[in-house]
């Protein structure tokens, strides 16, 4: 029944007094889903940041070990390994000769190309074994 006021009937005045229990429950469910999704996204982004930080450190460590080849580590077939102080990271440098061509020994050049591989290994915060590998070519003396 219309009473001539802008707002409608008596029924509308009664309904406008508050929310029903069902509306409140639906609002809480929607809010819970949104908050849960945001927390999950935040957790995922934090794990990504931690993994990125570990990988950046591994890259720097591999580059450091690669710089040592030819200076502290002799360029010859073999391998060396060690760990990085106060960290879960360990390193291994592997040096292998490269055969460029079959009659390489007949050349007058006294240089032998070697493939140098630096591997950095560590256990991440999630107890997952991870590694980063960096390879390069260095020249050493031929036997």
Q: Which residue has the higher pLDDT, 12 or 55?
A: 55
> What pLDDT shows up at residue 118?
97
Average pLDDT over residues 62-88: 93
Place of tokens 């940041």: 49
Q: Could you read off the pLDDT of 5-54 as tens digits, one per residue?
A: 555 555 555 556 788 999 999 999 999 999 999 999 998 898 888 889 99
71 pLDDT band (50/70/90 cuts)? very high
For position 111, what pLDDT does the model report? 81
Torsion sign across C-alpha atoms 105, 108, 111, 115: negative
End-to-end CA distance of the chain: 107
Q: CB neighbours (10 Å) of residue 94?
A: 17
Quick one: DSSP state of residue 113?
E
For the chain, give the percent of residues with pLDDT over 90.
57
Q: What is the pTM of this model?
A: 0.68
Please say if the pLDDT value at position 125 is more than 80.
Answer: no
Q: What radius of gyration, in Å, describes the C-alpha atoms of the chain?
A: 33
What's the mean per-residue pLDDT of the chain?
A: 85
CA distance 77 to 95: 5
What is the rounded CA–CA span in Å between residue 40 and residue 19? 30
Contact 98, 137 (CB under 8 A): yes
């Amino acid at each position: 029944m219309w009473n001539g006021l802008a707002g409608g009937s008596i029924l509308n005045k009664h309904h406008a007094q508050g929310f029903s229990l069902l509306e409140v429950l639906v609002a809480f469910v929607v809010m819970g889903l949104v908050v849960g999704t945001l927390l999950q996204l935040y957790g995922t982004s934090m794990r990504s940041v931690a993994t990125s930080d570990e990988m950046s450190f591994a890259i720097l460590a591999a580059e450091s070990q690669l710089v040592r080849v030819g200076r502290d580590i002799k360029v010859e077939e073999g391998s060396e390994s060690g760990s990085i102080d106060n960290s879960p990271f360990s390193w291994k440098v592997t040096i292998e000769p490269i055969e460029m061509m079959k009659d390489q020994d007949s050349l007058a050049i006294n240089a032998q190309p070697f493939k140098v591989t630096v591997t950095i290994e560590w256990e991440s915060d999630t107890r997952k074994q991870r590694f980063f590998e960096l390879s390069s070519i260095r020249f050493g003396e031929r036997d």
